[in-house]
Structure 1
């Protein structure tokens, strides 16, 4: 029995959603799972090759409509994220940043010319995007960003830096958020623009199968039409983060499921004291608790997906999903490691890799503490951010 079969959780899914899940699962089994341990060990990922393959299957910006995007349901997109992260969090991050951050920002806030120029190529995986919001000194507090954009005639000059930017070392364009004289604005910045430098961040202990970088902007001159015309204030980038968090709600379950699946197989085969360790009460108690949390997280994700499809999903509801599912996924990965014993730290098993990756997932797109404050504000009506 697979870890998600306990409560027959396929029941609320449509045939098209099951089909999309099967296609992505097969892709991960063939194209990611056999190689990802080596990618992780070597600190690399064939991002451009994967982007083209993902684009051919319609996975990039799959929940968006038009411009070569698949127009899939929110739940179908979530299921795809789950299967991708069952392979590796870094691989799902490639898809999430491309579709839910860079593409979504252009799709939601861009001009028709910007959409026509970039979105079809990005949907096909021919152009890779990144999303420049986080800064070296401003992570959880984007309102304090130091990156500035000032007018110079009809042009804009951008100065500043962005940090921990997924896809930056391999990107063709960046959506950069900067403070202007009146508000925060978004800019579409081709990465070959003079003054733009991307430096890959090395020596990561987490998300090693992902290209992460720093972007330096040194008086980058952009034409007037580089501005996202419909992005007014900080609410625009924050709405993009909500899009990305929805995928994380699902994706974290994939990492947890892969850990639990590997641990179940191991516990049935591994013998100590003359019998399989799966037959011991303490092991079964751990497995039962993990399976229950996985089921609960999945039901939460499906519920949020249906709310999104009905146009009723609110940001604090996504925060509930991100807070719960990532926290529980990390707890599952750590508990699985205890069942595998010393083998739990071996690269021959996926558990430690998933656990390390989930440490990053716990932090990006809003730390657990940030989401607790978002939920707390909803509960009390009082902001505790300042």
Structure 2
């Protein structure tokens, strides 16, 4: 078979490793993102989404919500398909990708994996279509990397549960119909399916963000929220529940970060060919070519790592430590690609007319959510040495 020409945006030929069906999934998500793209800079500048519920329904119509889950109206697609979708969504904006991944990999996954049949039937079909939005309440104002120290409490009162506490930095919180909330109980940490119209529940939106501005971020306030006994997730106790959900979301980040990096690299490559200084395009100068080459190398490495981990996940052989490695590397390198792309654009790089600084700002959040650099470093350190150094 004749070799294809060199592709600047795919220098090592990763597309040859994808099936036609996988490429079709990517193309369909990219098409939807292209339709949404003109609105994103304004959403970022305004610090709000115009119509988050309408956006969720558009994603639901394409089958993106919980797309890697089986049954209950979910698409049942592969992990690689989901990863490719995350790449396209984050090439649009990290905040938009966060809406989808929190819905599918955190809220829906928790119910799908640990919920009762009644809970699954009640929520998953509506969440898959975007008719119900979900959020995931784990992080607290004083407990981020150490969720075992959470102070949100659920106590028994007859046949009911009563929840009190606060959760912080919760994507989708103010627009959600259902929240999966993790709380301390006498039997350990348990998860609860909380309809957001329950008395005592509120979700004030967090304003004045400098990152993930095209996203709804909220605090969850639980003041004497009374739930029936059936609200608890029956099939898990302890941190295994929330941490397994986080691992699902981290997998999507491994892919998504490469979308932000690709968007910034493509922008810088195109700009370097068009911007003329001293009588020729800046792409003709050695220092610019070094930047472009370095970005291309790291982008290709990150994309190959994401695909490899996706194949392992589909084969059932992916380990949590490998997801930590992918998240640590790909977000860190994506952020560096975006920052380098900004330097190629010069002053234009700080303008919302171009996506690169928006991506860089967003990745500052992605770098620390779903596990900070320090936490993933220590996960890898423990796997490498057998010694836990978290305390």
Q: Smaller-chain TM-score range?
A: over 0.9
Cα distance in structure 1, aligned partners of 2:295 and 2:83: 21
Cα distance in structure 1, aligned partners of 2:291 and 2:236: 47
Cα distance in structure 2, aligned partners of 1:217 and 1:269: 54
Residue aligning to 1:34? 38
Matched, 1:104 2:137: no
**Residues 1-386 of structure 1 correspond to what in structure 2 (within 5 A)?**
3-31=8-36, 33-45=37-49, 46-386=51-391
SS at match of 2:219: strand
Name whichever of 7-16 and 290-299 sits farther off: 7-16
How far did 1:5 drift?
A: 1.6
How far did 1:4 drift?
A: 3.6
How far did 1:133 drift?
A: 0.1
SS at match of 1:71: coil
SS at match of 2:108: helix
Q: Deviations over 1:331-362 (max 9, x none)?
A: 00000111111111011000110000000000
Q: How many positions carry a matched residue from both structures?
A: 385
Q: Confirm or deny: 8 A CA contact 2:170 2:217 kept in the other structure.
A: yes
Superposed CA RMSD: 0.7
Q: Deviations over 1:11-43 (max 9, x none)?
A: 111111110000000100012x11100000001
Alignment TM-score, normalising by the size of structure 1: 0.99
SS at match of 1:358: helix
Q: Confirm or deny: 8 A CA contact 1:3 1:260 kept in the other structure.
A: no
SS at match of 1:199: coil
Structure 1: gaps of 5 or more residues: none
How far did 1:170 drift?
A: 0.5
SS at match of 2:16: coil
Q: Confirm or deny: 8 A CA contact 1:3 1:257 kept in the other structure.
A: no
Cα distance in structure 2, aligned partners of 1:11 and 1:110: 39
Q: Confirm or deny: 8 A CA contact 1:106 1:115 kept in the other structure.
A: yes
Cα distance in structure 2, aligned partners of 1:227 and 1:15: 42
Q: Confirm or deny: 8 A CA contact 1:159 1:220 kept in the other structure.
A: yes
Q: Confirm or deny: 8 A CA contact 1:4 1:294 kept in the other structure.
A: no
Moved beyond 4 Å, runs of 4+: none
Cα distance in structure 2, aligned partners of 1:311 and 1:47: 34
How far did 1:204 drift?
A: 0.2
SS at match of 1:69: coil
Q: Deviations over 1:236-281 (max 9, x none)?
A: 1000000000000000000000001111110000001110000000
How far did 1:182 drift?
A: 1.8
Cα distance in structure 1, aligned partners of 2:9 and 2:94: 19
Alignment TM-score, normalising by the size of structure 2: 0.98
How far did 1:232 drift?
A: 1.4
Cα distance in structure 2, aligned partners of 1:287 and 1:88: 22
How far did 1:8 drift?
A: 1.0
Q: Confirm or deny: 8 A CA contact 1:330 1:355 kept in the other structure.
A: yes
